[in-house]
């Protein structure tokens, strides 16, 4: 009871909330702290993804060569998106840390706007995961034919020449399936009709495809497969982890916002209020009738409480 007014909790209706959980003020603070840590984990995952690309830029170049993507465009796009994501999750971490410290309901609108962008990011990561899976399957099925086509550009495209030479020198291999892939392609660096990168390093001097031991006769296809698959596994695992983190962020931020707003509405002295995923859920499973309650002030004691309607 107030000194000059009577205070009474009134129910102003009901709604079928989906998975409602009653949250106290301390629980909401803990929830905000967890959300800030999840944002930090997302920042770390993007830094790891950037590091994985930079540390194995050769594997990225080979994969882009086989998929006919521009490496310059890929570098600019991937770096820009990663920096934007780091800024985005950094903003989220700052908001949740401030909410943890102050418990201000005024930040809920900011969290709602942030959650909309998070939803876009969540589906974007799912699309990226599907894209990686589809592109990997397509690349595996056409890898040999695509690489053989790229060999024909060896004397015409400097970028292709540098990458093919780097691949053959690094793994001591020649062609896609063997040195026969080079036969008939004009303009090679050696008189024998093979690029110098096909020459065996154990045999000094010029190499010849008719002299045993002077040419690497193993094809590069198995090494390309291993190099690209390692990169795709790392990128796929990180993207899957990011999808899981985004899902947790969406769920927990929804509970935090709904509970904070309901606490402000009810003005509960203990700071307790229900949080939920969906306010009005048409599905009966996992739903529960939750009253919308507010505190009303009266100059005189209320004679009858309004109980609302179903």
CATH code at position 184? 1.10.1450.10
- What is the separation, in whole angstroms, between the first and last Cα of the chain? 29
Q: How far from 265 is each of 96, 102, 105, CA to CA, in Å?
A: 21, 18, 10
26, part of any domain = no
Q: DSSP string covering the chain, please?
A: --SSSEEEEEEEEEEEEES-EEE-HHHHHHHHHHHHHHHHHHHHHHHHHHHHHHHTHHHHHHHHHHHT--HHHHHHHHHHHHHHHHHHHHHHHHHHHHHHHH--GGGHHHHHHHHHHHHHHHHHHHHHHHHHHHHHHHHHHHHHHHHHHHHTTTTT-HHHHHHHHHHHHHHT--SSSSGGGGTT-S--SSTTSS-GGGB-TTS-S---TTSTTSB--S-SHHHHHHHHHHHHHHHHHHHHHHHHHHHHHHHHHHHHHHHHHHHHHHT-TT--EEE-SBSS-S--TTEEEEEEEEEEEESS--SS------
Q: Positive or negative, the Cα torsion across 181, 184, 185, 191?
A: positive
State the pLDDT at residue 182.
Answer: 81
24, part of any domain = no
Copy the structure tokens of residue 126.
């799912």
199, part of any domain = yes
The residue range of the domain holding 226 is: 45-256
50, part of any domain = yes
282, part of any domain = no
The widest CA-to-CA distance across the chain, in whole angstroms, is 109
pLDDT in 10s for each residue of the chain, 310 residues:
344 444 333 443 444 556 666 777 778 888 888 999 999 999 999 998 888 777 777 777 777 777 666 666 777 788 888 889 999 999 988 888 876 655 555 677 788 888 889 999 999 889 888 887 887 777 766 777 778 888 888 888 888 888 888 888 888 888 888 877 887 776 665 555 678 788 877 665 556 655 656 777 788 888 887 877 777 888 888 889 999 999 999 888 888 877 777 776 666 556 677 676 666 555 544 444 444 444 444 444 444 444 444 4
Beta 287-298 vs 273-275: how paired, if at all? unpaired
State the pLDDT at residue 211.
Answer: 60
- State the total domains in the chain: 1
State the pLDDT at residue 70.
Answer: 67
8, part of any domain = no
Residue with token string 């590069």: 220
221, part of any domain = yes
17, part of any domain = no
Residue with token string 């009653």: 22
Q: Tell me how far apart the alpha carbons of residues 206 and 209 are, in angstroms, rounded to a whole number.
A: 10
- Residues 15/308, Cβ–Cβ less than 8 Å: no
């Amino acid at each position: 009871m107030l000194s000059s007014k009577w205070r009474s909790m009134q129910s102003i209706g009901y709604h079928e909330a989906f998975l409602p959980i009653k949250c106290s003020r301390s629980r909401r603070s803990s929830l905000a702290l967890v959300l800030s840590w999840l944002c930090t984990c997302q920042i770390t995952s993007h830094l790891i993804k950037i590091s994985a690309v930079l540390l194995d830029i050769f594997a990225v170049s080979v994969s882009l060569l086989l998929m006919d993507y521009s490496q310059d465009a890929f570098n600019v796009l991937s770096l820009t998106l990663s920096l934007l994501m780091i800024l985005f999750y950094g903003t989220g971490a700052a908001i949740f840390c401030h909410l943890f410290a102050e418990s201000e309901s005024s930040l809920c609108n900011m969290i709602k706007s942030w959650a909309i962008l998070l939803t876009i990011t969540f589906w974007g990561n799912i699309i990226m995961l599907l894209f990686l899976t589809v592109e990997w399957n397509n690349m595996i099925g056409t890898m040999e034919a695509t690489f053989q086509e790229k060999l024909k550009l060896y004397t015409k495209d400097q970028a292709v020449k540098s990458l093919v030479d780097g691949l053959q020198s690094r793994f001591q291999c020649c062609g896609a399936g063997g040195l026969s892939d080079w036969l008939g392609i004009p303009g090679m660096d050696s008189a024998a009709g093979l690029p110098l990168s096909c020459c065996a390093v154990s045999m000094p001097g010029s190499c010849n495809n008719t002299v045993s031991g002077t040419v690497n006769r193993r094809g590069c296809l198995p090494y390309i497969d291993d190099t690209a698959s390692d990169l795709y596994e790392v990128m796929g695992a990180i993207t899957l982890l990011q999808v899981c983190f985004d899902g947790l962020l969406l769920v927990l931020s929804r509970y935090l916002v709904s509970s904070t707003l309901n606490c402000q509405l009810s003005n509960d002295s203990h700071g307790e209020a229900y949080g939920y995923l969906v306010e009005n859920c048409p599905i009966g499973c996992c739903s529960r009738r939750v009253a919308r309650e507010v505190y009303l002030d009266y100059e005189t004691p209320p004679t009858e409480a309004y109980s609302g309607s179903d």
